[in-house]
Amino acid sequence: MLELLYKMQPLDFVYLLVGIILVIFSIQSFVDKDHNHRIGTGLFWLLYGISFIFGSYMSKEINGWLVIAMAAIVLFKQLGKGNYFESAIDFKKMEALRIGNVIFIPALLVGIITFIIGFFTKLGALVGLAIASIIALCVALYITKAKVGQSFHEGRRLLDAIGWTAILSQLLAALGYLFNLAGVGKLISSMVASIVPVDNVFLIVVAYCIGMAFFTMIMGNAFAAFAMITSAIGVPMLVAGHGANPAVIGPIAMLAGYCGTLMTPMAANFNIVPVALLEMKDTYGVIKAQIPVAIVMLTLNILLMYYFL
């Protein structure tokens, strides 16, 4: 066991931590007597946690069956909400007045610490995000004087509110990988090559960024579009064709994809779930508010990528 831990990479510990938290959420659901679907909900998060903890050590077939089992739980509507030991509304109002804007410090720390670790160390942004989240949680507990156990109840409450869409990004990323294996990327590459002159760098950049945004809108997630569009346009036309630095164009392409995320209901965990949480009357209110910003950002990404080439 110790030898296995010694061989693990920093990111493996992040997956392990996420898996343990999900298992804790599942146990809380199982023992929640006020939960109408406690067995299904607990089993859903348990299977998800197992995939994080043991996914790298299990066969693809077993991981596939885990996904099918999770899909079956959703299909039969066995996900629900339970009791999260929330504080009374009057207490929340009093705490909001007492703490004030100081409550935003933990959220700011997440971004700042993640940037510092990702930029100045070799750990990477994801590991930095995990470390930043732990530090921010400690600061939040100090500010609010809450107990550690309550953070798990609140975490489960938010995860249950999001529901199955919490795993959408991983599913769509896998879908993009499958599309790429099926040859969709090559088909897109040939279509773009027949329309865009291979010696016109600017038009290739436009096709790359707009393609990322468009396929993100269709598939609901930039991770799903990235594998396909980068293999179709980014690598063959910009990296191989014009010597572009993949470390530069890759992040910009992802950001262009996120512009598409802002404009599609397929990105349910970003654009539909907030509508439910905020009890908005307009189902597409979030998307409508984001479209102008997304178009401006997409234009800037095109210009930025072209500038760095």
CB neighbourhood size of 245 (10 A): 11
Mean pLDDT of 259-287: 82
pTM over 0.75: no
Residue 47 tokens read as: 């299977």
C-beta of residue 34 within 8 angstroms of C-beta of residue 82: yes
Mean pLDDT score of the chain: 86
CB neighbourhood size of 146 (10 A): 15
Residue 47: pLDDT over 90: yes
Residue 2: pLDDT over 60: no
Mean pLDDT of 76-95: 85
CA angle 155, 158, 163 (to 5 degrees): 120
Alpha-carbon distance of 209 to 274, in angstroms, equals 26
| Nearest by Cα to 84 from 177, 159, 7, 189 | 159
Alpha-carbon distance of 11 to 171, in angstroms, equals 19
* Burial grade of 148 (CB within 10 A; 0-12, 13-18, 19 or more): exposed
Residue 291: pLDDT over 90: yes
Residue 88 tokens read as: 């009374």
Label residue 137 by pLDDT band (50, 70, 90): very high
Is residue 36 helix, strand or coil? Answer: coil
C-beta of residue 69 within 8 angstroms of C-beta of residue 47: yes
Most confident of 49-53, 85-89, 92-96: 49-53
